[in-house]
């Protein structure tokens, strides 16, 4: 039996179209245009592609997009100065600093400098704390996208056993907090976890976010489980072109799982769609307007 393929690319297209409709309404009714500022330091080819896609998709959703490109050698103070300026700019509702950053720039210092209500990545400790304690803050985009795909596929998640593989601040920890908020029984597994395969085999929901190409084989997966593959790993191929693979061995997992996200075309596109959703939400909050609810449900009809 072959698993259902969870089409994140299509879901993201629907969500972005729905966001665009809300943005147009916001401008018509309240004269507010959500503004997204993206800061890229250096010339990492993948980061350049992601930043370009973020800016283009923001414009396609009728938002204002502001791009800042700083040289790889930029001193940390210059990055912090730019963030200060954007914090005070009323046309900017969301600020994002593309990661990774060069070694002389401390990512924590930079993230902590962003005004929490403009932190559309949801990485600021105020937002991380809100998520951990059941508060109402910005939720990191990749885990939010994963949750949307899971809820669309499974409906109510309460009582399901979820294993999150990976404990990063960007994906693993917020993913675990979101699943806990949905009343899943959550295990966070990582490089020091004993019997990793057994832990994974207990999962109704398996979220793989370790950044190790094809680490999870099909025989680690419970038959019928829903598998969310967050990994985006570029591997070499004999033709020299290389290709993207996830953290899961797709070909064997697809034979066991009930549903699975592909790489590419699964979680990745949802990350950027959720970034636009957070920017819309930030703009509404900053203007004292109600935050649109249920956009994903509406997008899917």
Ligand X SMILES: Nc1nc2c(c(=O)[nH]1)N[C@@H](CN(C=O)c1ccc(C(=O)N[C@@H](CCC(=O)O)C(=O)O)cc1)CN2
Q: Which does 137 bind (CB under 5 to 8 A by kind): Mg ion, ligand X, none?
A: none
Question: Rounded distance, CA 145 to CA 71, Å?
Answer: 31
Closest CA to 227 of 185, 188, 260, 266: 260
> Is 166 a known ligand-binding residue?
yes
Shortest gap between Cβ of 150 and ligand X (angstroms)? 17
272 binds ligand X (CB under 6 A): yes
121 tagged catalytic: yes
Question: Among residue numbers 104 through 123, which ones bind ligand X (CB under 6 A)?
Answer: 121
Backbone angles phi, psi at 208, to 5 degrees: -100, 115
Tell me which of 98, 117, 119, 229 is the catalytic residue. Answer: 98
Question: Rounded distance, CA 259 to CA 263, Å?
Answer: 13
- At 162 the three-state DSSP class reads strand
Question: Rounded distance, CA 42 to CA 100, Å?
Answer: 10
Exactly one of 166, 174, 269, 292 binds ligand X (CB under 6 A); that residue is: 269
* CA dihedral of residues 260, 265, 268, 272 (deg, nearest 10): -130
The sign of the CA dihedral 271, 272, 276, 282 is: positive
Shortest gap between Cβ of 137 and ligand X (angstroms)? 16
Shortest gap between Cβ of 5 and ligand X (angstroms)? 13
- Token digits for 88? 């005070």
Tell me which of 57, 117, 118, 121 is the catalytic residue. Answer: 121
261 binds ligand X (CB under 6 A): no
- Token digits for 115? 């005004």
Which x/- pattern, by CB under 6 A, does the window 18-57 give for ligand X? -------------------------------xx-------
Shortest gap between Cβ of 110 and Mg ion (angstroms)? 8
Exactly one of 141, 162, 196, 256 binds ligand X (CB under 6 A); that residue is: 141
222 tagged catalytic: no
Backbone angles phi, psi at 270, to 5 degrees: -70, -30
Question: Among residue numbers 93 through 122, which ones bind Mg ion (CB under 5 A)?
Answer: 119, 121
Q: Which does 220 bind (CB under 5 to 8 A by kind): Mg ion, ligand X, none?
A: none
Q: Which does 119 bind (CB under 5 to 8 A by kind): Mg ion, ligand X, none?
A: Mg ion
Question: Rounded distance, CA 273 to CA 227, Å?
Answer: 20
Question: Among residue numbers 218 through 257, which ones bind ligand X (CB under 6 A)?
Answer: 232, 244
Q: How far is CA 126 from the centre of its chain?
A: 18
> Is 168 a known ligand-binding residue?
yes
Exactly one of 11, 34, 36, 123 binds Mg ion (CB under 5 A); that residue is: 123
Backbone angles phi, psi at 47, to 5 degrees: -60, -40
H/E run at residue 128: helix 125-132
List the beta bridge partners of residue 174.
none
CA Rg, the chain, in Å?
Answer: 19
> Is 39 a known ligand-binding residue?
no
Active site residues: 54, 98, 121
Binding positions for ligand X, rule: CB under 6 A: 49-50, 96-99, 121, 141-142, 232, 244, 263-265, 268-269, 271-272
Residues annotated within a binding site: 166-168, 232
Question: Which residue ranges are tagged as binding site for NADP(+)?
Answer: 166-168, 232
């Amino acid at each position: 039996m072959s698993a259902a393929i969870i089409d994140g690319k299509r879901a993201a297209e629907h969500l972005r179209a729905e966001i665009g409709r809300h943005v147009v309404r916001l401008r018509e009714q309240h004269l507010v245009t959500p503004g997204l500022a993206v800061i890229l330091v250096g010339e990492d080819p993948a980061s350049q592609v992601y930043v370009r896609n973020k800016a283009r998709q923001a414009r396609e959703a009728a938002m204002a997009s502001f791009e800042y490109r700083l040289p790889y050698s930029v001193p940390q103070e210059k990055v912090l100065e730019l963030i200060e300026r954007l914090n005070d700019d009323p046309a900017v509702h969301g600020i994002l600093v593309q990661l990774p950053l060069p070694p002389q720039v401390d990512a924590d210092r930079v993230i902590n400098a962003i005004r929490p209500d403009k932190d559309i990545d949801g990485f600021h400790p105020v937002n991380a704390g809100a998520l951990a304690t059941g508060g109402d803050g910005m939720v990191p985009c990749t885990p939010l996208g994963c949750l949307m795909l899971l809820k669309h596929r499974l409906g109510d998640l309460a009582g399901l056993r979820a294993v999150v593989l990976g404990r990063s601040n960007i994906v693993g920890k917020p993913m675990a907090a979101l699943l806990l908020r949905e009343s899943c029984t959550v295990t966070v597994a990582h490089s020091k976890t004993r019997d990793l395969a057994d832990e994974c085999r207990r999962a109704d929901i398996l979220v793989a976010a370790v950044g190790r190409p094809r680490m999870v084989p099909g025989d680690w997966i419970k038959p019928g489980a829903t598998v969310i593959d967050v990994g985006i790993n570029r591997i070499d191929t004999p033709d020299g072109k290389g290709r993207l693979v996830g953290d899961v061995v797709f070909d064997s997992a697809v034979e066991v799982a009930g549903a699975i996200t592909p790489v590419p075309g699964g979680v990745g596109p949802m990350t950027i769609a959720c970034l636009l959703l957070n920017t819309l939400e930030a703009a509404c909050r900053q203007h004292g307007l109600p935050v649109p609810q249920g956009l994903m449900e509406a997008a899917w009809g």
